[in-house]
Each structure stands twice: as structure tokens, then as C-alpha cells.
């Protein structure tokens, strides 16, 4: 494994939920990153944000690591879950809640229901 | 270089000859695509969308890619 892969591997395994994004959870710098961070913030998930704009090696390396060409990328328990479109669909269908529940990730179910009510 | 909707559709058609394909958007940089194909049956969304990205042959490759953003919807036929 190359150095950057090792770094990414350690990062995704160091926290239950890790979001690779453009910008930070408090200041996203891309609409797609903002959308996913916004969902996680809103439903109260404790997650690690990795700003790929601050680290060119990670920005390039994460695409090979996941075999996925775009940012944001969400990882839960070290497993790649998806990008913006997948997370949006999973949020609205309730699959995201189910996945967090299965993995023992704490979140606010009422807030998640509110997102669905507002977008139903 | 930005891509026309037709170019995107043509690339997707090569990999998914029998799919229902709809490409939307008009600025050539922020586009959307829906691909409904039998080959997606039994695959999860990550696997489905990886297949679509593979069909686009590197057009999505970040700063140097032609497409900045492609909103994807993938599914198997009902």
C-alpha cells in the first residue's frame, strides 16, 4: 500500500463516520459537500470531516482508494457508503437511518423524519 | 472542455446499449443523467454508479476532467 492509501485507511478507520469533502463541516466549499455535511449536521451525527482542498495528496488518493471519481465521499465503519446522490436518496428513503442504526451510530431520528416531511 | 448532453449520452450508450438514458443540464459542466438498465439489477447504488463512471472513461476525473459534476440516478427497470 502506498503512503497515501495508508493515511486514508487509518483515517477512515479512526472514526465511525468520516466525510471527505471540499471545505469543512462548518464551511463547506461546494454545493454537493454542503448538502451531505448539512444532512449529517442536521441529524446530529458525530463525524470526522476531511477537507480534501487542504491536502492535494488526499484529494487525488481518495479517488483511487474508493474507485470513485467525485467528492464528497461518506465512510461508515471504514466502508464506503456513497457520494452526494446516493446519500441524498438514502436520506429520503430512510436507508441512511437504517445504516446508522445497524452500525451503532447515534443520530436524531426526529430530525431525519423532518427532512423527509419537508421533502416528501 | 465542457461536454454536450449528446456526447454524454453517446458514451453511456456504448456501455449500456439497451438502457433508458436521459441526460439533463445545458451548461456542459453541471449535468445530470438517469440510467435505467437491466444490468443494475441486484447491484447496490455504489456498484451501479461505479459502472456509469467507468462508462464515462475518465471524463469525471476531478480538476482535469471535462465534467465538473454529474448528478446521477441509476436503477434497474421496474
pTM summary value: 0.89
Test the B interface: residue of A34, A56, A85, A99 with most B CBs within 10 Å = A85
Q: Which domain covers residue A13, as residue numbers?
A: 3-118
ipTM above 0.85, yes or no: no
Domain count, chain A: 1
A84 marked as part of a ligand binding site? no
Instruction: Give the residue from chain B lying closest to A62, CA to CA.
Output: B62
Minimal C-alpha gap between A56 and chain B (Å): 11
Q: Is the pLDDT of residue A62 over 80?
A: yes
CA neighbor of B41 nearest in space, from B57, B60, B19: B19
Residue B29 and residue B69 in contact, taking contact as beta carbons nearer than 8 Å: yes
Rounded Cα distance between A85 and A93, Å, is 12
Report the CATH number at residue A75. 3.40.30.10
Task: Tell me the pLDDT tens digit for each residue of B19-78.
Answer: 999 999 877 777 899 999 999 999 999 999 999 999 988 777 655 567 777 889 999 999
CB B67 within 8 A of CB B9: no
Average pLDDT estimate for A49-66: 95
Measured CA to CA in angstroms, residue A73 lies from A104, B40, B77 at distances of 20, 21, 27
| Domains of chain B and CATH, by start | 5-75 (3.30.300.90)
From the CA atom positions of chain A, what is the Rg in Å? Answer: 14
Kindly determine whether residue A68 and residue B46, on different chains, have CB atoms separated by under 8 Å. Answer: yes
Amino acid at each position: 500500500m502506498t503512503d497515501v492509501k495508508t493515511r486514508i485507511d487509518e483515517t477512515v478507520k479512526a472514526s465511525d463516520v468520516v466525510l471527505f469533502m471540499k471545505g469543512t463541516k462548518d464551511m463547506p466549499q461546494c454545493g454537493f459537500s454542503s448538502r451531505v455535511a448539512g444532512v449529517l449536521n442536521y441529524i446530529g451525527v458525530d463525524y470526522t470531516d476531511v477537507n480534501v482542498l487542504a491536502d492535494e495528496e488526499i484529494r487525488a488518493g481518495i479517488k483511487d482508494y474508493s474507485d470513485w471519481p467525485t467528492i464528497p465521499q461518506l465512510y461508515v465503519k471504514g466502508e464506503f457508503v456513497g457520494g452526494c446522490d446516493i446519500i441524498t436518496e438514502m436520506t429520503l428513503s430512510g436507508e441512511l437511518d437504517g445504516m446508522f442504526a445497524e452500525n451503532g451510530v447515534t443520530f436524531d431520528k426526529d430530525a431525519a423524519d423532518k427532512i423527509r416531511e419537508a421533502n416528501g | 472542455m465542457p461536454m454536450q448532453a449528446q456526447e454524454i449520452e453517446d458514451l453511456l450508450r456504448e456501455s449500456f446499449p439497451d438502457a433508458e438514458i436521459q441526460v439533463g443540464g445545458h451548461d456542459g459542466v453541471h449535468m445530470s443523467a438517469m440510467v435505467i438498465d437491466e444490468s443494475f439489477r441486484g447491484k447496490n447504488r455504489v456498484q451501479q454508479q461505479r459502472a456509469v463512471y467507468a462508462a464515462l472513461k475518465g471524463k469525471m476525473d476531478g480538476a482535469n476532467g471535462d465534467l465538473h459534476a454529474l448528478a446521477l440516478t441509476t436503477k434497474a427497470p421496474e
